[in-house]
Structure 1
Amino acid sequence: MNNFDQSPSKKMAVIVPTFNRACYLSNAISYVLGQTYDNWTLIIVDDGSSDNTSQVVEPFLSDKRIKYIYQKNKGLAAARNTGIRMSSSEYLAFLDDDDIWFSDRLEKAVRWLDVNPKHAWVYSQVIMNSVNENKKWVYPKPVPEPTLENLFMENTPQVLSVTVRREFLKITGLFDERIKMCEDYDLWLRLANIAPYGVIQKTLGEYVLHSQSMTNDQARMFVGALSVIRNSVKLMNEKLPWLKIRWRISNLYYLIAKNNFKGKNYYAGILFFVKFVITYPLLGRSLSKIINRLKEIYDQELLKVFRGRKCADS
């Protein structure tokens, strides 16, 4: 099913990729319909779903701003790229099917980009909602000025908060379809390398961490970020001191190690902790820093493992 027509382009295109998540999709569509800004087109890209996604979308298609396209499964980056190619809007926003937008999300983004025409993209903070921990926090942390350096070093905006000016994608290209995790971070870095970007100082959405897969998703995210950072090293060598690049890679090794310990994958945790230590030369010279980091990830489960081995040997 493809209901694209030749109607005039809207200023904002909202791209919603989905795959076998019909249970979430109607909520995502409702968040777009509930926006205070209404000069948009919504493009839903069904990436090969085998559930009832098309039936969920069908009632919404009476609104001519909403478009639906089905394609064979190609992955998240490819689905977003399909949506971009099928639109001609000046601005592009992205909403995954299980994310939440607040009602002024699009209005704030359009207003900001309209008054900052030289900026390639803008983002906002979002609320991170960890379902199984019953915990919420605001992410990413505030920065005094959005720069390529702080984007590379630690500040990774959530895709649901980002709005991109289309013309800059003609220079950088679209999402890299070879990357299966953190493909959005890769694109933000490429955009930030050619033009300034900005931040809206307000939380405009919510990202839900689902309990059943949170640890695995975090592990994949950290590994994906590591891959993106490694691919960006050649570019960043011209922008940042060597030690800062090494620190960024080292810190990702630490996060992967910590995540593995949390998931009781102790062998992998130790392996990545060793990589964390040896990757950043200055850290390797400071025993106290290494010990402090070990304390951060040394949980009660790991303590039980070592106690159990000690009892077995006695």
Structure 2
Amino acid sequence: MQKQLVSVIIPCYNQGIYLEKAIESILSQSYRNFEIIVVDDGSTDQTKEVAQKYPLVKYVYQSNQGVSAARNIGIKNSTGELVVFLDADDWLLPDALFININYLIQNPEAAFVSGAHELFYQPENKSWLIQKEVTENHYCNLLQGNYMGLPAVGMYQRWVLNEFQFDTNLHYCEDYDLCLQIVRKYPVVHHTAPVAVYNFHEDSVSSNHVEMLKYALLVLNKQKSIVLNEPEEACLQKGLNNWKVYYSEKIYNKLLYQLYDLNLQVDKEGLEALKENDQELYFKFIAENKFNDNVDIITGA
């Protein structure tokens, strides 16, 4: 088991402040046969200095092309039979590699294995364990929502990444898109042991609810030509609705916060997204606005 090399790829764009903890979480792994590749996606902060402090880190630089391109470059510059994608602001739990590699040894036909994660909510210094049991029909389950949650919970076989890589046209939900492509064709394994920590902070990509909703729906709509039967079609439609409900609620709450803060402007893009995806919440917000003197969101006065 210790003979299999695991390549941990860390794309980083101006997240040098978090990078050290991500690297240290790999160096602290109970499974010791790994390599670390940091792909600097055109950062202007201390990313290079942090990465080059560690002799075991292979530092790769590219002009800013986005996280998908950075991960793809990381794949090309790695040599492991197994691959993990760790975002620079997240970290692995100490037994992450050991747990996931054992599942792949037990299931050698699987294209990847994924596990549970902890959600660390930085603004309040709180953590929650996020687990979802999925033992069969992974494609339909993934259509209904991204049960993986973040890239770092997965460990991929090299051979599947020779066939599928990240879509560089996607600026959000690119990992969701990749997993849907893989699960459509190959068996995978998911378990409920926590292996990674998702660090949610004010600069997190997923805090941009409008863009997350836009790209989640885009990724799922790509599956319309791929679903094969009525049950899969039903899962796809449920997934589209689930994303609309999930992010519309978040957009609505953010708009309310903006509405009642005299120092903030109401996000017009958020309002348009709400209008397009959840008419009930949209008109609820419009009604709320009538009782507020902060801003007339209809006339802009």
Please classify the TM superposition score into its range, dividing by the shorter chain length: 0.7 to 0.9
Question: Given the alignment of the two structures, is residue 305 of structure 1 paired with residue 289 of structure 2, yes or no?
Answer: yes
Aligned 8 A contact 1:215 1:263 in 2: no
| Alignment partner, residue 210 of structure 1 | 201
Question: Given the alignment of the two structures, is residue 186 of structure 1 paired with residue 151 of structure 2, yes or no?
Answer: no
Structure 1 residues without counterparts, runs of 5 or longer: 1-8, 279-289
Distance 1:25 1:181 in 2: 20
User: Which deviations, in whole Å up to 9, do the C-alpha atoms of 1:133-162 show, x marking residues without a partner?
Assistant: 554333353334351100111243110111
Aligned 8 A contact 2:117 2:129 in 1: yes
Larger mean CA deviation between 267-276 and 215-224 belongs to 267-276
**Structure number with larger C-alpha Rg:** 1
Q: Secondary structure at the match of 2:109?
A: coil
Q: How does 1:148-187 map to 2 (within 5 A)?
A: 148-157=139-148, 158-171=150-163, 173-187=164-178
Give the Å deviation of 1:57. 2.0
Give the Å deviation of 1:102. 0.8
**Distance verdict in 2 for CA 1:215–1:304, change over 3 Å:** farther
Give the Å deviation of 1:13. 0.5
Give the Å deviation of 1:110. 1.1
Question: Given the alignment of the two structures, is residue 229 of structure 1 paired with residue 220 of structure 2, yes or no?
Answer: yes
**Distance verdict in 2 for CA 1:133–1:232, change over 3 Å:** farther
Give the Å deviation of 1:229. 0.3
Distance 1:267 1:57 in 2: 39
| Alignment partner, residue 240 of structure 2 | 249
Give the Å deviation of 1:237. 4.3
Q: 1:92 aligns with which of 75, 79, 83?
A: 83
Distance 1:272 1:72 in 2: 31
Q: 2:93 aligns with which of 93, 102, 116?
A: 102
Question: Given the alignment of the two structures, is residue 35 of structure 1 paired with residue 29 of structure 2, yes or no?
Answer: yes
Equivalent position amino acid for 1:36 in 2: S
Q: How does 1:119-130 map to 2 (within 5 A)?
A: 119-130=110-121
Aligned 8 A contact 1:16 1:42 in 2: yes
Give the Å deviation of 1:233. 1.3
Q: How does 1:125-144 map to 2 (within 5 A)?
A: 125-144=116-135
Question: Given the alignment of the two structures, is residue 54 of structure 1 paired with residue 48 of structure 2, yes or no?
Answer: yes
Distance 1:250 1:271 in 2: 17
TM-score in terms of structure 1 length: 0.79
Larger mean CA deviation between 245-254 and 264-273 belongs to 264-273
Distance 1:80 1:166 in 2: 13
Aligned 8 A contact 2:131 2:192 in 1: no
Distance 1:124 1:20 in 2: 28
Equivalent position amino acid for 1:52 in 2: Q
Structure 2 residues without counterparts, runs of 5 or longer: 256-265, 297-301
- Structure with bigger helix share is 1
Q: 2:5 aligns with which of 2, 11, 23?
A: 11
**Distance verdict in 2 for CA 1:156–1:219, change over 3 Å:** farther
Equivalent position amino acid for 2:26 in 1: V
Distance 1:305 1:78 in 2: 42
Q: How does 1:109-124 map to 2 (within 5 A)?
A: 109-124=100-115
Distance 1:125 1:258 in 2: 24
Aligned 8 A contact 2:13 2:41 in 1: yes
Q: Secondary structure at the match of 1:97?
A: coil
Aligned 8 A contact 1:118 1:196 in 2: yes
Distance 1:268 1:69 in 2: 36
